Amino acid sequence: MIRKTILSLFLLFILAEYLFAQGTGDIGVVIERNSGSVVIVNTTSHQVVRRVEKLGNLSHATGVFSRDALYFFTFQRDGWINKIELLTGKVVAQKKAGDNAIGGAISQDGKYIGISNYQPGDIKILDSDNLEILKVIPALYTTKAGEQKQSRTVGLVDAPNHRFFFALMDAGEIWAVDTRTPDFPILHQWKEVGNYPYDALMTADGRYYITGFLKSNWVVRLDLWQLEEGPAKVSTIDPNLHLPKVPMYKVPHLSGWGIADGKAFTPMISEERLMAYDLKSWSPLQSVPTYGTVVFAVPRPDQREIWLSFAGPKNDTLQIIDVATQSSVKMLKLGKSISHIQFTPRGEAAYVSVRAKDKVVVLDAYTHQQITELSVQGPSGIFFTNRAHVIGL
């Protein structure tokens, strides 16, 4: 009798496991900025699956996925990192690793988390398992007055051959750290690359690290195949197009820089245009006038279109640029504070957070028609699990 009961319970357990087994390939995380929570969404059913609350200050929060796409690590303005298990919504580890953080990365082998801090100016490297802090790398530099200071750090990404790359905002430098060697040595320090780097990106093939500047009229590209050549500067000035400088109500984000058709479509500071650069020769091609100053330039995964969001009073509009003709094909008024655009892994749909309307709009990537909308409180960043397998994200 007892043996029968145990056997039935065992079979029931196996059946339950089979029935409720879930993958994470079609889920993602949406930051609810104003309420210190995130929601986990399913991109097959286009539904909110669960909400994870009391995470702290999620202003400007971003994050990365573990390589098994089971965990999401938040990088928060208050310096906290929360490790969230996606299938249960449980916070399985947390750590305060700064006082004012701006972003982070996960190492190529998935073992380490890097967090980039404004305050104190450093990056910290943590064990991705339990979030123990393993190394603090202060972003030390010498000011023109000869004073030693710590710079705010930006644009931290993982790179091929176990590297972290990041830029020093106040120092105007780019550094590379080796994440394979236990002491995490600094391998490169390129100095005087430009004034006030504000963000950077790694191309999805892991070849180019591109940095934008607030106060220099150039963009810098590092070719990881030829690091000895150092950072290559290319001008942001278009001799053929003189647009007026306009107020910039929000600084562009580069993780979505439009890499498409062998070109980098780069947002310009205080100007309503993108500049297209040939990625390989790193030479300027031409400007693409835009509706406003661009915050995100996100290529559709097939790279035929680039979807743009804007700053300030024009942030209620999504503009779609056709890459082949480099012209505007659609303007969609979705509501105040369009703050992020993310395509589903195979690119059939786009999720757009419309923060002031408390909703995420799901659009068909090809017809541009609305599929549905999700009720999400103050949505900002959107992250899908396919990012777990892309270098630099």
Partner 1 sequence: MRQVLILFLVCCLAPFVIAKGVIANKQPPRLSEASKARVLMTLREDCANCHGLYRLGGLGPALTPERLKVYPVEALALIIEHGRPGNFMPPWKDVLSKEEIDYLANYLLTVEPTPPEIQMRGEK
Where do we find the tokens 């007892």?
2
174 vs 269, beta carbon nearer partner 1: 269
CA distance 339 to 384: 16
Q: Does 77 bind partner 1 (CB under 8 A)?
A: yes
User: In this chain, which of 204, 214, 232, 285 binds partner 1, going by CB under 8 A?
Assistant: 214
Residue 189, number of CB atoms within 10 A of its CB: 12
Residues 171-200 that bind partner 1 (CB under 8 A): 198
Residue 370, number of CB atoms within 10 A of its CB: 13
58 vs 224, beta carbon nearer partner 1: 58
Q: Does 136 bind partner 1 (CB under 8 A)?
A: no
77 vs 387, beta carbon nearer partner 1: 77
User: In this chain, which of 41, 102, 156, 349 binds partner 1, going by CB under 8 A?
Assistant: 102
* Residue 281 CB-half CA count within 13 A: 6
CA distance 393 to 390: 6
Q: Give strand pairing partners of 220.
A: 211, 233
**First-to-final CA distance of the chain:** 55
45 vs 59, beta carbon nearer partner 1: 59
85 vs 223, beta carbon nearer partner 1: 85
Q: Does 249 bind partner 1 (CB under 8 A)?
A: yes
43 vs 315, beta carbon nearer partner 1: 315
Q: Does 248 bind partner 1 (CB under 8 A)?
A: yes
CA distance 350 to 296: 14
280 vs 336, beta carbon nearer partner 1: 336
User: In this chain, which of 29, 93, 294, 298 binds partner 1, going by CB under 8 A?
Assistant: 93
Q: Does 91 bind partner 1 (CB under 8 A)?
A: yes
Residues 261-280 that bind partner 1 (CB under 8 A): none
Only one of the segments 91-99, 203-211, 230-238, 254-262 lies at the binding site for partner 1 (rule: CB under 8 A); that segment is 91-99
Q: Does 251 bind partner 1 (CB under 8 A)?
A: yes
Only one of the segments 16-24, 89-97, 141-149, 366-374 lies at the binding site for partner 1 (rule: CB under 8 A); that segment is 89-97
Mode of pairing for the β-strands spanning 263-267 and 91-96: unpaired
Only one of the segments 50-58, 160-168, 220-228, 343-351 lies at the binding site for partner 1 (rule: CB under 8 A); that segment is 50-58
Residues 2-41 that bind partner 1 (CB under 8 A): 33-36
61 within 8 A of 100, measured Cβ to Cβ: no
Q: Does 364 bind partner 1 (CB under 8 A)?
A: no
58 vs 306, beta carbon nearer partner 1: 58
Rg (CA), the chain: 22
Q: Give strand pairing partners of 273.
A: 289
For 11, counting Cβ atoms within 10 Å of its Cβ (0-12 exposed, 13-18 middle, 19+ buried), the class is exposed
Exposure string of 268-283, with b = 16+ CB inside 10 Å and e = fewer, is bbebbbbbbbebeebe
Q: Does 51 bind partner 1 (CB under 8 A)?
A: no
287 vs 353, beta carbon nearer partner 1: 353
List all residues 6 or more positions away from 226 whose beta carbon is below 8 Å from its beta carbon: none
Name the minimum Å distance from CB 225 to partner 1.
Answer: 32
Residues 298-357 that bind partner 1 (CB under 8 A): 311-313, 315, 336-337, 355-356
CA distance 163 to 124: 14
Name the minimum Å distance from CB 246 to partner 1.
Answer: 9
Q: Does 60 bind partner 1 (CB under 8 A)?
A: yes
Q: Does 69 bind partner 1 (CB under 8 A)?
A: no
Q: What CA dihedral angle connects 246, 251, 256 and 257, to 10 degrees? A: 50
Q: Which of 178, 289, 292 is nearest to 227 (CA)?
A: 178
Where do we find the tokens 């000895």?
228
Cis geometry, peptide bond prior to residue 120 (ω within 30 degrees of 0): yes
User: In this chain, which of 49, 50, 89, 94 binds partner 1, going by CB under 8 A?
Assistant: 94
**Contact positions toward partner 1, by CB under 8 A?**
33-36, 53-60, 77-78, 80, 82, 91, 93-96, 100, 102, 118-119, 198, 214, 247-251, 311-313, 315, 336-337, 355-356
